[in-house]
Amino acid sequence: MTGRQRADFDAYAGDLFGELVLAETAPATPLARKPLTRFVPGFAIAAIASAAAAWLSQNYGVPVILAGLLLGLALNFAAGDPRTHDGLDAVSRHGLRLGIVLLGLQVTLMQVGAMGVVPFAGLALVMAAAVMAAQLAARLTGQGPSVGLLAGGATAICGASAALALYGVIGRERIEQAQFTLTLVILAAASAIALATYPALTTALGFSEAQAGFLVGASIHDVAQAIGAGFAISDSAGAQATVVKLTRVALLAPLVTLAALWIARAHPLPASARAARVPLMPSFILAFLALVVINSLISLPTAVAASALVASKTMLLLAVTATAMRTRTDLLLELGWRSVMPVLAATLASLGAALVFAQVAL
């Protein structure tokens, strides 16, 4: 990217990381009160596009996150109007945070412990394989370690929501928003392909229900698609896939913390940018952990968890759609095939490691 293109990009594109930074690190200074109506144009267009994505998903089976990304990119011309900026930025920031926080009501510490030592070790192996493969692919294609961390970490945990959380600690100084959006697109596409093919693969290999449940729960990115693939095999495989997948979700907080520690050494920022770093443990990750603990200590009604899951998916869909709208497609096209390779490498590595572990140890 040329210097002029970068300047144009910075002036045009909304910055999800920048919004996180301002909320976490900006000093408390008195600001002039602005009317709340400034959020309406951006929120309205993001909500309409998200509703269209949900309709496509419900009626045609398109993965909802992928539909939101594609519709957001198609409507990115709307971000050329400055009146949409406040609303789109607010939806990106608050949708991201609230969506990740509400995921805490989907998992308990007991579920993690009930998985057992052997499957947990296998899950750790699969996640490590995804991260290392993404790092290797990023290096071989001439990209920085931040790109590999984003692709590998998102693949290892839970796709788009993990990518959003990781981008909060990596930041735009290390990864351009066009690269981030492309990563989300490839993650959603890879997860959709896995949902369609992995159940048939487990049948062709003659896997037991426990093996099949572990495979899809450990290697499919999206939560709903991983669980859905398990129940497409059998109820027993679906239950196993649910435990394995939710254990991955529970590991989001430690992954983000380790990512913040590692990226600060592997890809340090210039001295002028260091003041803009987010905290080691962002507040929304602390809130996520708090809900995990509450869900572990208190038996909440099933309806509460179900409603929280719907709300989480809605918030993440709004955030992803708004982020896509604030991304310039011409800069996306300039990234080229190399930018796709870390996600593909991580996806294949997680599948390979899950296959080997399921065959050998389960």
| DSSP letter assigned to residue 281 | S
Residue 269 is predicted with a pLDDT of: 66
Instruction: Give the range of the structural domain holding residue 79, as residue numbers without chain letter.
Output: 38-361
Cβ density class 288-321: b for 16+ within 10 Å, e for less: bbebbeebbeeeeeeeebeebbeebbbbbbbbbb
Q: 229 in a domain, yes or no? A: yes
How many domains are there within the chain? 1
Polymer length of the chain: 362
pLDDT at 213 (0 to 100): 87
Its pTM surpasses 0.75? no
The pLDDT assigned to 136 comes to 93
15 found inside a domain: no
Q: Answer yes or no: is 72 within a domain.
A: yes
4 located within any domain: no
pLDDT on residue 148: 87
Q: Return the pLDDT at 327.
A: 67
- Flag whether 14 is in a domain: no
Does 197 map to a domain? Answer: yes
Let me know if 262 is exposed, middle or buried by CB neighbors in 10 A (0-12, 13-18, 19+): middle
pLDDT value, residue 224: 66
Burial class (CB in 10 A: 0-12, 13-18, 19+), 333: exposed
CA–CA separation, 169 and 318 (whole Å): 20
Low-confidence ranges of the chain (pLDDT < 50): 1-29, 31, 275-279
Q: Return the pLDDT at 75.
A: 86
Q: Is residue 20 part of a domain?
A: no
For residue 97, being part of any structural domain is answered with yes
